[in-house]
C-alpha cells in the first residue's frame, strides 16, 4: 500500500501524526464506516495526561497524519464494544511517570503500546509482541516523515506475516 491507500472499514490502526516539536503523537484509530471512526489516544494538552476517545471523521483527510499501521481487520459489530472496553480501561496516569512494564516514562506511545498489549491479551488482535508492533509503527512513521509521503497506510508485517495482508 502507499500514501494513496484508503483506511479499510472494520479495521484498526496505530496512527502517528506530526507534532510541532518534531516528535510524533500516537493513537489508535478504529475505522467504523468511512469516513467515521473512533480515535483513542493519551493526551496532555491543557494539563495532566488523560484518555481522549471520540468519534471523528477527520482522520481520513488529516494532513497531520504521517502513517497508519493496520493491526486488525474484519472487525464486526460484536467486537466493537469489547475493543472499546479494553481501550477505555488502559491506564492513563495524570502525572505520567515511569512505567516499569515498559521501562520508559509515560507518553502517548507508551499508552498505545500498553493498549496493543491489552488487545492482544484479550484476543482482539493476533498474538504478537506489542513492542514489535509498535517498533514497526514507529519505523513506518519515520519512513513517512523522511520521504515526505504522508498518510502512509500499511498492514502490519508482524501481525499479518504470511497471511496475505490479513485477507
Q: In whole angstroms, give the CA distance from residue 124 to residue 83.
A: 7
* Pair 1, 149: CB distance under 8 Å: no
How do the domains of the chain map onto residue ranges?
A: 11-157
Q: pTM (2 decimals)? A: 0.91
pLDDT < 70 positions in the chain:
1-5, 162-167
CA distances from 46 to 49, 50, 94, 103, 153 (A): 9, 10, 12, 26, 30
42-53 per-position pLDDT tens digit: 999 888 999 999
Q: What is the phi-psi region of residue 67: left when phi exceeds 0, alpha when psi lies from -120 to 50, beta otherwise?
A: beta
Q: In whole angstroms, give the CA distance from residue 131 to residue 113.
A: 7
88-117 per-position pLDDT tens digit: 999 999 999 989 889 899 999 999 999 999
Q: In whole angstroms, give the CA distance from residue 62 to residue 21.
A: 18
Nearest to 88 by CA among 129, 35, 28, 132: 28
* Pair 105, 99: CB distance under 8 Å: yes
Amino acid at each position: 500500500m502507499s500514501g494513496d491507500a484508503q483506511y479499510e472499514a472494520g479495521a484498526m490502526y496505530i496512527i502517528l501524526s506530526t507534532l510541532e516539536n518534531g516528535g510524533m503523537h500516537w493513537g489508535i484509530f478504529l475505522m467504523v464506516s468511512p469516513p467515521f471512526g473512533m480515535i483513542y489516544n493519551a493526551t496532555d494538552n491543557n494539563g495532566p495526561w488523560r484518555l481522549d476517545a471520540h468519534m471523528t471523521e477527520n482522520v481520513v483527510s488529516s494532513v497531520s497524519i504521517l502513517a497508519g499501521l493496520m493491526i486488525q481487520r474484519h472487525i464486526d459489530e460484536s467486537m466493537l464494544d469489547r475493543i472499546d472496553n479494553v481501550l477505555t480501561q488502559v491506564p492513563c496516569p495524570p502525572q505520567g511517570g515511569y512505567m516499569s512494564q515498559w521501562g520508559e516514562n509515560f507518553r502517548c506511545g507508551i499508552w498505545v503500546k500498553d493498549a496493543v498489549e491489552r488487545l492482544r491479551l484479550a484476543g482482539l488482535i493476533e498474538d504478537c509482541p506489542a513492542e514489535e508492533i509498535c517498533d514497526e509503527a514507529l519505523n513506518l512513521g519515520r519512513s513517512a516523515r523522511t520521504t515526505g509521503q504522508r498518510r502512509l497506510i500499511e498492514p502490519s508485517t508482524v501481525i499479518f506475516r504470511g497471511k496475505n495482508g490479513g485477507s
